[in-house]
Amino acid sequence: MKAVLKRLHSPDIDSLPDFKPSDPDSFCFLLQLMVGPEFEDGEESFDIQVCTPKWILENHRREDVIIGRHYLLVMEYNYERIQQIISTFCSTCHGATWEEIAEKLGRLGKWEFEDYQD
């Protein structure tokens, strides 16, 4: 089984392809990766913060330590490039079950079912 990026969504941005940050050097927004098994219906959400290094510097104290999990650092906003990088990452995630794949995808974005227990 293999993962495929089905679409990208942001609750903060109406149109990702047309988005132009007010400050191109300093921005951050939530990006939801909608990913599912290749050749199957259905998708699940993996959330990442897309931001620039300048935004990180402006929004954290000098003594802060940032682990960086679930962050995608970009030097500029380029929708096609972001989409391509994420799509390529997703296509490398294989597994016998969707849970195995989702665990690998969770290295990039926070899975909506991460840490879920019945």
Q: What is the pLDDT of residues 26-55, one digit of tens each?
A: 999 999 999 999 999 999 999 999 999 999
Whether residue 118 is contained in a domain is answered as no
Whether residue 74 is contained in a domain is answered as yes
- 1: CB partners within 8 A, 6+ apart: 37, 38, 94, 95, 96, 97, 98, 101
List, as own/partner pairs, every contact residues 53-61 make where C-beta atoms lie below 8 angstroms and the sequence separation is at least 24, other chains included. 54/25, 54/26, 55/26, 55/27, 55/28, 58/26, 59/28
Whether residue 45 is contained in a domain is answered as yes
Whether residue 117 is contained in a domain is answered as no
Hey, what amino acid is at 39? Answer: F
The tens digit of pLDDT for each residue in 50-102 reads 999 999 999 999 999 998 899 999 999 999 999 999 999 999 999 999 999 99
H or E stretch at 91: helix 79-91
Q: What's the whole-model pTM score?
A: 0.91
- Work out how many domains the chain is built from and give that number: 1
Residue numbers of the domain that contains 9: 3-111
